[in-house]
A and B are shown apart, each in its own frame.
Chain A
Amino acid sequence: SQQGEEDPQALSIQEGENATMNCSYKTSINNLQWYRQNSGRGLVHLILIRSNEREKHSGRLRVTLDTSKKSSSLLITASRAADTASYFCATDAWGSNYKLTFGKGTLLTVNP
């Protein structure tokens, strides 16, 4: 079952602009994570935010979590062509017994 759903499915921006991707989920979570995938490669962990946290930063990444709305957003500031990739949210739901469930992803294209 799909827990997280990213929005939009695809996003195209110019280098230097900010990119915002959203993730909505259905059930209560322990934490939510964001991953990045370059075309056909393995996923790479970006950031983890726990259910009792509201915002987290890592370099040019900013993640917010609103548990009342069951949603999260990933902001990439000052985007670069190298940020072109698919971005996935993944949720660790309460009672899920070690299961991390991924959304379908947002394909971000950053044009030089």
Chain B
Amino acid sequence: EAQVTQNPRYLITVTGKKLTVTCSQNMNHEYMSWYRQDPGLGLRQIYYSMNVEVTDKGDVPEGYKVSRKEKRNFPLILESPSPNQTSLYFCASSHGRGGELFFGEGSRLTVL
């Protein structure tokens, strides 16, 4: 089954404790992206990757890092989480530019 898998789905952590949200897709997609969703602000892009070892900033990259060492994986790293990073995070992938995005089920992160 074609899918994008994120882990963890739910996480409560404390300020400053490094965490990683993993994302994996099984569709051999070139393009992967991270979004955060906040009430009243919609979905905002954090980082995206056009292929292995090719990443670029989206609209709200501050406080986040990503890597794309393998085509299937695109982890999101919060080196020192802060409360303003409390949000619902989505990973998505697509075959090519502007194509249909396949979304994961989301990771709800709370930073205390």
Contacts and interface: CB of A to CB of B under 8 A. Distances in A.
Interface of A: 1-2, 30-31, 33, 35, 40-45, 48, 88, 90, 92, 97-105
Contacts of A45: 100-102
Interface string B67-100: 0000000000000000000001010101001111
Interface string B19-54: 000000000000101010000111111001010000
Contacts, number: 62
Given A42-B4, A43-B103, 10 more contacts: A33-B100, A35-B101, A41-B105, A45-B102, A97-B50, A99-B45, A100-B94, A102-B35, A102-B43, A104-B40
Contacts of A43: 43, 90, 92, 101, 103
B97 A88 contact: no
A44 B41 CA distance: 19
B101 A104 contact: no
Interface of B: 4, 31, 33, 35, 40-45, 48, 50, 56, 58-59, 88, 90, 92, 94, 97-106, 108
